[in-house]
Amino acid sequence: MKGSRTDAGPTAAARPGSSGRSRRLVLAVLAVAVLCVALGTPLLGSYGPTWDLALGEYGYGHDWLDAVEHGRTAELGPGYVRSAESRAPHPDFDGSRFPPQLVYPLGAMASALSCDLLWSAWGVLPAMSAHHVPVLLCLAALLATLVLMGGRRLGPWAAAGAVLAAVGQPQLLAHGLHNLKDFPEAVLYTCSRGSPTASSSCARPVARTSPNTSSRDGRRCSR
């Protein structure tokens, strides 16, 4: 029809170079994650157990994982005897005097599973280093998510460089190698905010009105 506009212009998916930019972003995300794991693994042995994890997560994680594997969840409680002990030498973590409601089960069981595989079964890492592996994987996931979020605005390699510079911050690096309790929580929260669903909700225009004017000039996160 004359006067009507039939072509709204190229969509984001059809813009020249968008596919190449997406590929570079994926490569940057993978490169940062792999580099984090490769450089972080040798550092895991520098950290031992923290006092609260030694009383809670490490011991309870092994108990809970053993109970699930052998269908003995009804027996869980103080004094639970595992079906099989870890390969020696492994620290003797006794959590019988630590309240189980203060233990975070996801991290505890992930740490126990990592130890069972990487130390008890395969012997490729020392026991405590194997317990720390899930925390290192959380750090890699955090960095990859930050590169993904920043790459949409800064470009993939600029975002990767910024994230790698930030990880040199001592507190972030140290917690990202051994803090099984707090660090995974922070990572899961950040990853949830960087998910495509969260990003699209934050990019959606929100109507704002005032006594004098009404406009759709704001963008804010609806969460």
Q: Would you say residue 65 lies in a domain? A: yes
Query: Is residue 7, in this structure, part of any structural domain at all?
Result: no
Structure confidence at residue 194 as a pLDDT band (50, 70, 90): low
The mean pLDDT value for 50-58 works out to 90
Of 163, 135, 150, nearest in space to 193 by CA = 150
139 token code pair? 């750090």
Contact (CB, 8 A) for 135 and 179: yes
Residue 186 in any domain: the answer is: yes
The segment with the largest mean pLDDT, out of 4-8, 83-87, 146-150, 201-205, is 146-150
- Answer for the pair 165, 58: CB distance below 8 angstroms, yes or no: no
Task: Give the separation between CA 191 and CA 172, rounded to whole angstroms.
Answer: 16
What are 25's two structure tokens?
Answer: 């972003």
Question: Given phi > 0 = left and psi -120 to 50 = alpha, else beta, which region is 136?
Answer: alpha
Find out whether 185 and 142 touch, Cβ atoms under 8 Å. Answer: no
User: What are the start-end ranges of the H helices in 155-209?
Assistant: 156-166, 170-178, 182-193, 196-203
Residue 144 has pLDDT above 80, yes or no: yes
How confident is the prediction for the chain on average, in pLDDT?
81
9 in a structural domain: no
What pLDDT shows up at residue 214?
A: 44
Amino acid 213: pLDDT? 46
pLDDT of the residue at 142: 92
Which residue from 172, 191, 192 is spatially nearest to 182, judged by alpha carbons?
A: 172
Read off the amino acid at residue 145: T
Boundaries of domain holding 148: 28-195
Q: Which backbone phi and psi does 202 adopt, to 5 degrees?
A: -75, -25
């990592």: which residue's tokens? 114
pLDDT at 108: 94
Q: What is the sign, positive or negative, of the torsion defined by CA atoms of 185, 188, 190, 192?
A: negative
Residue 112 to residues 57, 65, 77, 119, 131: CA-CA distances in angstroms?
9, 7, 17, 10, 6
* Domains held by the chain: number: 1
Collapsing DSSP states into helix, strand and coil, what is residue 217? strand
Structure tokens at 120: 């008890």
Q: DSSP letter for 212, please.
A: S
Least confident segment among 35-44, 51-60, 99-108, 209-218:
209-218
pTM > 0.95: no
Instruction: Give the phi and the psi of residue 35 in degrees, each rounded to 5.
Output: -65, -40
Q: Is residue 98 part of a domain?
A: yes
The pair phi, psi for residue 72, each rounded to 5°, is: -115, 30
> Within a domain: residue 18?
no
**pLDDT at residue 10 is higher than 60:** no
In a domain, 67, yes or no: yes
- 14 domain-assigned: no
